[in-house]
Amino acid sequence: MSKYFLKQLALGVAVTLSTAGIAHAEKWDMPMAYSGSNFHSVTGAEFAQCVTTGTGGAIEIVTHPSGSLFKGADIKRAIQTGQAPIGERLLSGHQNENAVFGFDSIPFLATSFDDSAKLWKAAEETINSVLDKQNLVLLYSVPWPPQGLYFKKEVNAVSDMEGIKFRSYNNTTARLAELTGMSPVTIEAAEISQAFATGVAESMVSSGATGYDRKVWESLTHFYEVDAWLPRNYVMVNKDVWNDTSEANQNVLRGCASLAEYAGNWRSKEYTGFTVNGLRAGGMTVAPPSDGLRAELQEIGKTMSDEWMEAAGAEGKAIVDAFNAM
Ligand code: PCA
C-alpha cells in the first residue's frame, strides 16, 4: 500500500469536506462485465463507496455489474465516447485494437501472482500511454486467478480436444482453441452458464473463480489447473471527465483506486483456493494436467507467444524484456 496515495486520499477528503456545500453532485454510472458476486465486482462496489464517501457525495459512483448497463464488449467504447464516465473491463479483450493489450495472456510467461505483479510493472507505462491516446485514464488493475481448462470429459492429450466447442473471451483464447483443434465461440462470462447448459459451448479456459461464480459444475466435469496466465481487469475513466474533475476529487479517486487495487489483489489470491475447492464441492474433478498434456500445451504456448511478439512489435518486446530482467 502506498503511503503517498493514502496521504493523497486524506488530503482529498479534507479539501472536499472543507469545501462542502457540494456545488454540483454528480452521479457516475460504472458499467462492469462480471456478476455482482464476483470479487472484481465486489472490489468495484467498495471503490465506488470509497469515492462517494471521500468526495463528500460530490461524485456518487453507482456500479452496474453483469453487463447490465453495457455488455462487456461495449464497455470500453462507451467510456471512450463519454456514454459512461467510468467502467471496468478485461484488458486483453482489446487485443483486436492493439496486440499489446494481450501482454497478460501470453501462455506460461507469468503464471503466479508475484510474476503477474512484475509483468504489470513492466507493462503499465505502455498501457497507460496507449489508453491515453484513446481518451482514457487507467485507475487500477487487478488480475484474475490463474487460468485452467474446463471440459465435460477427462482430457489427457490435445487430441482429446478435437472438435470441442470452446468458449473464448479474447484473441488469445480463440487462438488456443484453433491450435488445439477446438471451435472457438466468443461468449461473455455473464452468459456462460446458459451456453454450457444448452451445449453452445462445452469447454473454456478461465479461472476457478469464474467457474465457481457461474456454477459450471451443473454442466462441466473437469478442471485442469494449467496456470496458463493471469489476465487483468482494469478500471478506466473518460479523460475529458477526468480533466473536468477537481484536483481534490482526483486525489480521492486515485487514493480509492490504490486501496481497491490492494484489496482486489488480496481477494484474487484468497479466492483462488476457495473457488477451486468450490468446484470440487460441486462435484468436479480438479487436477493438474497430465505431463503429456502439459508438454503439448507448452509447445502450443510457444507458438502463441511467438505470434504475439510478432504482432506486438517493439512495444511488446520491451514489455517482455523488462519483465525478464526483473
Ligand atoms: N474470468 C474471465 C476472464 C478471465 C477469468 O478468469 C472470463 O472467463 O471471462
Q: 70-112, pLDDT tens digit by residue? A: 999 999 999 999 999 999 999 999 999 999 999 999 999 999 9
Give the number of the atom of ligand 1 that is nearest the alpha carbon of residue 147.
6
Give the number of the atom of ligand 1 that is nearest the alpha carbon of residue 144.
6
Q: Are residues 194 and 83 in the same domain?
A: no
Q: Are residues 235 and 310 in the same domain?
A: no
d(C-alpha 151, C-alpha 160), whole Å? 10
237-241 average pLDDT score: 98
Q: Are residues 122 and 199 in the same domain?
A: no
Residue closest via CA to ligand 1's atom 6 equals 207
Which residues does a 6 A CB cutoff place in the pocket of ligand 1?
A: 90, 144, 169, 189, 206-207, 209-210, 231
Q: What is the pLDDT of residue 213?
A: 95
Is the confidence at residue 18, as pLDDT, over 60? no
Element (H, E) at 174: helix 171-179
Q: What is the band of 53 on the pLDDT scale with cuts at 50, 70, 90?
A: very high
Q: How many CB atoms lie within 10 A of CB 133?
A: 9
Concatenate the DSSP letters of all residues of 33-85 into one string. Answer: SS-TTSHHHHHHHHHHHHHHHHTTTSEEEEEETTTTSS-HHHHHHHHHTTSSS
93 closest CA partner among 37, 160, 173, 22: 173
240-245 average pLDDT score: 98
Q: Are residues 137 and 173 in the same domain?
A: no
Q: Are residues 119 and 207 in the same domain?
A: no
β partners of residue 62: 29
Distance in Å from the first CA to the final CA of the chain: 20
Q: What is the pLDDT of residue 24?
A: 73
Is the confidence at residue 8, as pLDDT, over 80? no
Question: Whole domain around residue 66: which residue ranges?
Answer: 3-145+231-275
Residue closest via CA to ligand 1's atom 4 equals 206
Per-residue pLDDT of 91-100, as tens digits, reads 999 999 999 9
d(C-alpha 216, C-alpha 57), whole Å? 39
Give the number of the atom of ligand 1 that is nearest the alpha carbon of residue 210.
1
Ligand 1 centroid from CA 252, angstroms: 29
Q: What are the start-end ranges of the E strands in the chain?
A: 26-31, 59-64, 86-90, 136-143, 148-151, 165-168, 183-186, 203-206, 222-224, 232-238, 285-287
Ligand 1 centroid from CA 165, angstroms: 17
CATH number for 75: 3.40.190.170
Is the confidence at residue 295, as pLDDT, over 70? yes
Q: How many CB atoms lie within 10 A of CB 178?
A: 14
Q: Are residues 245 and 290 in the same domain?
A: no
Q: Report whether 35 contacts 13 (CB < 8 A).
A: no
Report the sign of the C-alpha dihedral through residues 187, 191, 197, 203, in that order: positive
Per-residue pLDDT of 263-274, as tens digits, reads 999 999 999 999
Ligand 1 centroid from CA 38, angstroms: 10
Q: Are residues 138 and 266 in the same domain?
A: yes
Q: Are residues 106 and 252 in the same domain?
A: yes
202-206 average pLDDT score: 98
Q: What is the pLDDT of residue 10?
A: 59
26 vs 57, 109, 207, 275, CA distance in Å? 8, 42, 36, 37
Ligand 1 centroid from CA 160, angstroms: 23
Number of domains into which the chain is organized: 2
Q: What is the pLDDT of residue 4?
A: 54
Q: What is the pLDDT of residue 174?
A: 98
**Helical segments of 214-290, H only:** 239-243, 247-281
Q: Are residues 31 and 65 in the same domain?
A: yes
d(C-alpha 118, C-alpha 217), whole Å? 33
Residue with cell 507467444: 305
Q: What is the pLDDT of residue 2?
A: 54
Ligand 1 centroid from CA 315, angstroms: 25
DSSP 158: G
Q: β-pairing, 136-143 with 165-168?
A: unpaired
Per the model's pLDDT, the better-predicted residue between 12 and 157 turns out to be 157
Residues 6+ apart with CB under 8 A from 297: 107, 158, 226, 228, 289
Ligand 1 centroid from CA 148, angstroms: 10
Chain mean pLDDT for the chain? 94
Q: Are residues 318 and 243 in the same domain?
A: no
Give the number of the atom of ligand 1 that is nearest the alpha carbon of residue 205.
8
Q: What is the band of 300 on the pLDDT scale with cuts at 50, 70, 90?
A: very high
Q: Are residues 224 and 235 in the same domain?
A: no
Element (H, E) at 122: helix 113-133
Q: Are residues 256 and 200 in the same domain?
A: no
Is the confidence at residue 9, as pLDDT, over 80? no
Supply 284's cell numbers: 468436479
